[in-house]
Amino acid sequence: MSFKKFFNEPSEHEVTDQKLYQQRRSFIKQSANMMGALSLSSIAASSLILPSAVRASQSCDADSSGKFRNITGDKPNSWSQITRYNNYYEFSTSKEAIVHLAQELTIKPWTITIDGEVERTLTLGIEDILSLIPQEERIYRLRCVEGWSMVIPWNGFSLCHLLKRVQPTSRAKYVEFISLLRPEEMIGQRIKSLDWPFRESLRMDEAMHPLTMIATGLYGKELPKQNGAPLRLVVPWKYAFKSIKAITHIRLSEHRPVSSWQKAVPSEYGFYANVNPEVRHPRWTQRRETRIGELSKRRTQMYNGYAEQVAHLYQGMDLEKNF
């Protein structure tokens, strides 16, 4: 199915009413302000212990509301486009089928455990997280290795706020994310296309960067199942496969974990997965991309357009070798 055929402008009833969207955003902002005092005191009480190199280069502002809201200036894709065209191998390799298959997934109740190289192991319900950490809206680009991209208005929070609560030890160099394993509902897991459950990981300084986000919703609404509900990682300067969906477990470790795609096809999927038009995927060029809803291609930007914010993390590295 062609992009042109599938992504005709959606009908009026499919698109979020703009007035409702604005009201929801206002409500989220007010709620965040009301919880600010509690969050600030809790975060301040959690002393963060990190290697000096990471400590010196990273910060996690207690109130970053508005700081990263839409630093690219891009217009978001519509609700219909974002929710009807997805990669989610736990359900299917067909992007259009996932919206239907994912509705079988049970997401309530839901808990997430954070452990490993931490002073404090935590298991939290989604309601606990939402009450502890103020939510904000961020409009981020998403870029897939297959050559297509979207602009998505996520709701959520910087991952660093959650990690600070477990007090990482000085040995914590990497953060691993583990997704849900439930083949009775996630029918793609019945096929051994990958070693389930799905796993991804970041370097500690990448995870602590305030751009790295845990998404809990989009367009001011609850995160749809096909988009990774209820908790999804969003790392906007990396290819989208790094943004693991349906997270149940976060583990901090001293040694670098092997992620699912890296384990399956190491020649095609590296650990870093930074958007880089100069490093070619064996099957797809990365120099140009197709923004969903547009007919003409765009030039791919280094780090997906976030170079000013993240390029310093990779200073001195061979980006072709460390792809």
Please give the pLDDT value at position 303: 98
Domain presence at residue 319: no
What is the pTM (predicted TM-score) of this model? 0.82
Please give the pLDDT value at position 103: 98
Q: Which amino acid is at 204?
A: M
Residue 240, CA distances (Å) to 190, 249, 264 in order:
23, 19, 17
Please give the pLDDT value at position 21: 43
Domain presence at residue 289: yes
Asked whether the CA dihedral 59, 231, 147, 269 is positive or negative, the reply is positive
Please state, in angstroms and rounded to a whole number, the distance separating the CA atoms of residues 305 and 237. 7
Please give the pLDDT value at position 65: 55
DSSP 8-state assignment for residue 32: H
Please give the pLDDT value at position 70: 87
Q: Which of 90, 51, 55, 70 is nearest to 200 (CA)?
A: 90
Please give the pLDDT value at position 34: 37
Domain presence at residue 321: no
Please state, in angstroms and rounded to a whole number, the distance separating the CA atoms of residues 314 and 159. 20
Domain presence at residue 320: no
- Domains in the chain, number: 1
* Pairing mode of beta strands 213-218, 148-158: antiparallel
Please give the pLDDT value at position 61: 58
Give the containing element (helix H, strand E) for 176: strand 174-179
Going residue by residue through the chain (323 aa), what tens digit of pLDDT does each one get? 433 333 333 343 333 444 444 444 444 444 444 333 333 333 333 333 333 333 333 457 545 556 788 888 899 999 999 999 999 999 999 999 999 999 999 999 999 999 999 999 999 999 999 999 999 999 999 999 999 999 999 999 999 999 999 999 999 999 999 999 999 999 999 999 999 999 999 999 999 999 999 999 999 999 999 999 999 999 999 999 999 999 999 999 999 999 999 999 999 999 999 999 999 898 989 999 999 999 999 999 999 999 999 999 999 999 999 99
Domain presence at residue 236: yes
Please give the pLDDT value at position 67: 76
168: preceding bond cis by omega (within 30 degrees):
no
Burial class (CB in 10 A: 0-12, 13-18, 19+), 187: middle
Please give the pLDDT value at position 22: 47
Burial class (CB in 10 A: 0-12, 13-18, 19+), 194: middle
Q: What is the CATH number of the domain that holds 57?
A: 3.90.420.10
Look at the block and give the residue holding tokens 């698109």: 15
Burial class (CB in 10 A: 0-12, 13-18, 19+), 82: buried
Helix (H, G, I), strand (E, B) or coil at 39: helix
Please give the pLDDT value at position 68: 81
Domain presence at residue 64: yes
Please state, in angstroms and rounded to a whole number, the distance separating the CA atoms of residues 295 and 22. 29
Which residue range is the domain that position 195 belongs to? 3-314
